[in-house]
Structure 1
Amino acid sequence: MRCLLIFGTRPEAIKLSPVALELAGRQQFRVQLCATAQHRELLDQVLGCFGIKPDYDLDLMRPGQSLAQTTARVMQGLERVLRESRPDIVLVQGDTTTTLCGALAAFYERIPVGHVEAGLRTWDPAQPFPEEMNRVLTSRLATLHFAATEWAAANLLKEGVDAARITVTGNTGIDAVLWVRDRLEEGSLGGWSGASLEGTRKLIVVTAHRRESFGAGFERICAALARLSERDDVQIVYPVHPNPNVQGPVRRLLGGRRNIVLAEPLEYVPFVDLMRRAWILITDSGGIQEEGPSLGKPILVLREKTERPEAVQAGTVKLVGTDPDRIVNEAVRLLEDQAEYERMARVHNPYGDGRASARVADAILSFFEKNPRSGRAL
């Protein structure tokens, strides 16, 4: 069975790499990989870690492209790839422009689509933008839906998706982070090699890149981090996303401040190492909301809404938005209140057990056994 995995950003590569390795290890599959390189630098950092090389590298991103321009370029590039590779099924992951384009391009070629991490919803088209609509539309195009949780599966059922086409797998990102963690602990992978981390200070690891926070939102986030950096008991490490809308305010407002290290975007393995050594994670990343609980870390999320409510309900994640007072107050509580810290830091991950990729592979095989004529026909 020919299976084409399409990805364009680092989070997609992280979450599809365990799936690619699982499929490649089974004799029933012939696996091919296509990178659109929606995030060129960040994507390249991940692939070497898992020993993965794309069969097709479209390298489509150009500086200053609009969403419409990116969409058009990805669609045109994928049409050629699909007609050349002629897969029996296409796998896409998540909610990026590449995700939607991969599903739509496969639909146009009448190729079944499997959507990894299906069913996430905020029910607000503007939060996050454009990801919410990307994943909603991808669900309309997909043949198989691999939901990370029962909540995500329930969302799909509400939208009329056939229950027989939904599999609750857990999240493949947990497969990836546990794979890396184990190799860091055994010493077969190298970790963080940047600025010295002072063991007497509590490490706060920050990431922020969401489009809806561009402008005033990032200024408020930076104001909160500046206030936290005045404490003598913390060290803040912030790998800064390359987008100019992020680099500008972060470098201007936080550059040169004591107790803050502004790092270049990190490769995946050093970043997992940072997370496992952190006291608190402050982020707007969806992936980190899933990974942090696996590592026993409390997470403050720089968003007002999340499509991943399970960790909020479990108590390991808090939504703080971009209000400086809320960010600072919640961070200080975790720095000073040991009971509150231990309550949030307990190792409880509602997103998976490290076996999600195997469940994805099993579900694909089961579908084709029941529907042997489904390849290249919806």
Structure 2
Amino acid sequence: MTLPEVHLVGASRAEALRLAPIALAMREQGTLSAVLLAAGPDPAAVDATYAAFGLTPKITMPTGDDPAEALRRFDALWAGRTPAAVVVRDFLAAGLAAHWRRIPIMQIDAGRRSSDVTPVATDADRRLLAQVTTLHLAATPLAAMNLLDERVVAGDVLLTGGTAADAARALAGRREEAPVRSRRLVVVGADAAPVVAALRPLTVRFGDLEVLALGGELPSALRAALLAEAYVVITADEDLTEEALAAGAPVFVLGNAGAYAEAIHAGSARLVGPDPATVAVKMAGLLAGRVHRDTMVAGGNPYGDGLAAQRVAQATAALLGHGQFPDPMPARPVAGATR
């Protein structure tokens, strides 16, 4: 029997990281045929991320940075090879093309909002994508509430958790081991590079401190290993924040508090502001006593429990008439276990 074909569209490394566990879950459940797409301006990076999970995309389609051209290419693809459903994250062009072809759309990480609705902000695309999504798969209760506030029908929203936690678990058994360090490792995201210089004096004050600027070209498995080893991660990037928390590392976030509300509320992330000198002062306080860092770790990861990919795969199959919808992700305890 031919299984229903579901296209999982990755247009960035971050999207591919979150889609790969879903493809593995669909393969394991055996009710759907997962077809991975490597799209976006750099499909080679998407392909490399899939490869870290032992997966190979069946369709590679460079779409560049032009949304109109991306939409045209997806429309042409799905005119000749129409899937039973499409799974997307933030890629609006893919969502619109699927909508116009009357293909059911599953959006993972649905309902994420940063309160930034400027014309260049991702939030604008996320809100537009929500208008055409068939089933909204939210990572957190707050994200689900955002959708309900935007008048999305409650029955079209399912709390699944985010799949970054699933990815961290899957990569743990595959990853290339990071170098063994006897020092406390502070990982600084590429978006927060100016902070590195401000932290250098702390490496003298705290002799066991190492500061590492995270490059964008690192293999996914090595990147995951470094995050798992990190004493703390400093970034303004939503995706890196979620991936660090999934790996068990607390985070100093430099950006809009709206994008990190769940982690800040849990205590596993702290908003420290963008000024490098301020970050250095806050970091000195965190390094002064282990209890401060352990308190953050105890906040846990509010973005998933490691079972989100299974729920997404099951929900997609149920939407297509194969089995029952999964139960939503259980309510999260107030504090997680320490590392």
How far does the alpha carbon of each residue in 1:102-128 deviate from its partner, in whole angstroms, 9 at most, with x for none?
A: 10111111111110110011222149x
Establish whether residue 78 from structure 1 lines up as the match of residue 74 from structure 2.
yes
Distance 2:45 2:101 in 1: 30
Aligned partner of 1:226 among 188, 197, 206: 197
Q: Residues 47 and 57 of structure 2 are in contact (CA less than 8 Å); yes or no, is this contact kept in structure 1? A: no
Q: How far apart, in 1, do the equivalents of 2:250 and 2:103 lie?
A: 41
TM-score normalised to structure 1 length:
0.78
Structure 2 stretches lacking a partner, 5+ long: 324-339
Query: What is the alpha-carbon distance in structure 2 between the residues aligned to residue 24 and residue 77 of structure 1?
Result: 27
Alignment length, in residue pairs?
Answer: 316
Query: Structure 1 stretch 12-21 or stretch 325-334: which is displaced more?
Result: 325-334
Gapped regions of structure 1 (runs ≥ 5):
62-68, 210-217, 242-264, 372-378
| In 2, Cα distance between equivalents of 1:302 and 1:229 | 18
Q: Is the 8 A contact 2:185 2:212 kept in 1?
A: yes
For residue 346 of structure 1, the aligned residue among 290, 298, 312 is 298
Match of 2:328 in 1: none
Cα pair distance change 1:26/1:342, threshold 3 Å: closer
Give 1:202's match in structure 2, choosing from 176, 184, 203: 184
Q: 1:124 to 1:352 in 2, by over 3 A?
A: same
Aligned-pair identity in percent equals 29
- In the aligned structure 1, how far is the partner of 2:271 from the partner of 2:49? 28
After TM superposition, give the deviation of residue 321 of structure 1 in Å: 3.1
2:227 counterpart residue number:
275
2:126 counterpart residue number: 135
Q: In structure 1, what is the Cα distance between the partners aligned to 2:149 and 2:252?
A: 29
| Cα separation, partners in 2 of 1:324 and 1:190, compared to 1, 3 Å | closer
What residue is the counterpart of 2:163 in the other structure? 172
Q: What pairs with 1:21-40 in structure 2 (closer than 5 Å)?
A: 21-40=24-43
- Matched with 2:307 is 355
Q: How does 1:229-244 map to 2 (within 5 A)?
A: 229-230=200-201, 231-232=203-204, 233=207, 234-241=209-216
SS of 1:308's partner is helix
Pairwise CA distance, 1:175: 0.4
Partner of 1:60: 63
SS of the aligned residue for 1:114 comes to strand
Q: 2:141 aligns with which of 147, 150, 160?
A: 150
1:123 is aligned, of 115, 118, 129, to 115
> Match for 1:15: what amino acid?
R
Tell me if structure 2 keeps the 8 A contact 1:3–1:30. yes
Residue 93 of structure 2 corresponds to which residue in structure 1?
Answer: 101
Q: Name segments (4+ residues, structure 1) moved above 4 Å.
A: none
Q: Does 1:192 pair with 2:178?
A: yes
